[in-house]
Amino acid sequence: MTIIIDLMRHGEPVGGHRYRGHRDDPLSERGWRQMREAVGEHCPWDLIVSSPLQRCAAFAEELRIRHDLPVELEPRFREIGFGAWEGRTRAELEAENPGCLQHFYSDPVRHTPPGAEPLLAFQERVTTAFDALLSRHEGRHVLLIGHAGLMRMIIGHTMAIPLDRIFRIQVDNACLTRLRVDDGQAALIFHAGRL
């Protein structure tokens, strides 16, 4: 059985670019615009699944109302918890601890930010929820609204990308990626596209 999953990252939150993790910042006006422009009036989906964080769930709710689609909020699809890095910008982190970002991105398994969710735990949380979604919604076209880390983890999981390399996948605000899964075999149809 085939399932098509469109992964969509949230738009820019209030406060611009920073490590948010579990912080529940809302979308900025620009973020709303990015998401609306990414999908336009297209609605190929049977349902929407979303992270419960408002930068994702608010747009899922807008689409629910506009297109009369069911929405499921899945807590396991929240972003990775960044611990002490949450709410901080790259510049702030580098000024405080030079090289910390380079260490993290070169080996995210061993260089977890202080107090952060371990990457292996995040992987287990996301892949378990994603595999359950595939089982529950066979034969459907699903829009999954989430976060950059979530999208990297799902793409890495379905494409067998080693965990220490998933941060090499660029995921911009309002990025759309389409996966098709046929009997457990995934194909990446497009990445960083628009409808």
* pLDDT digits 0-9 by tens, 82-136: 999 999 999 999 999 999 999 999 999 999 999 999 999 999 999 999 999 999 9
Give a yes or no: residue 183 inside a domain.
yes
Give a yes or no: residue 145 inside a domain.
yes
13 alpha carbon, distance to own chain's centre? 14
Residue 144's DSSP bridge partners are 7, 49
pTM of the predicted model as reported, rounded to 2 decimal places: 0.96
pLDDT at 195 over 90: no
pLDDT value for 193: 83
Could you give the number of structural domains in the chain?
Answer: 1
pLDDT value for 40: 94
SS3 of residue 126 by DSSP: helix
Residue 169 token pair: 């996948």
Among residues 58, 42, 39, which one has the least CA distance to residue 50? 58
pLDDT at 194 over 80: no
pLDDT band (50, 70, 90) for residue 184: confident
Q: What is the mean pLDDT of residues 164-174?
A: 95
* pLDDT digits 0-9 by tens, 29-71: 999 999 999 999 999 999 999 999 999 999 999 999 999 999 9
pLDDT at 140 over 90: yes
Do 4 and 178 touch, CB atoms closer than 8 A?
yes
Name the amino acid, one letter, at 25: D
SS3 of residue 190 by DSSP: strand
CATH code for position 175 = 3.40.50.1240
Give a yes or no: residue 100 inside a domain.
no
Give a yes or no: residue 91 inside a domain.
no
Give a yes or no: residue 113 inside a domain.
no
10: DSSP letter: -
Domain range for residue 169? Answer: 2-81+118-193
Give a yes or no: residue 86 inside a domain.
no
Give a yes or no: residue 69 inside a domain.
yes
pLDDT value for 1: 83
pLDDT value for 56: 98
Give a yes or no: residue 42 inside a domain.
yes
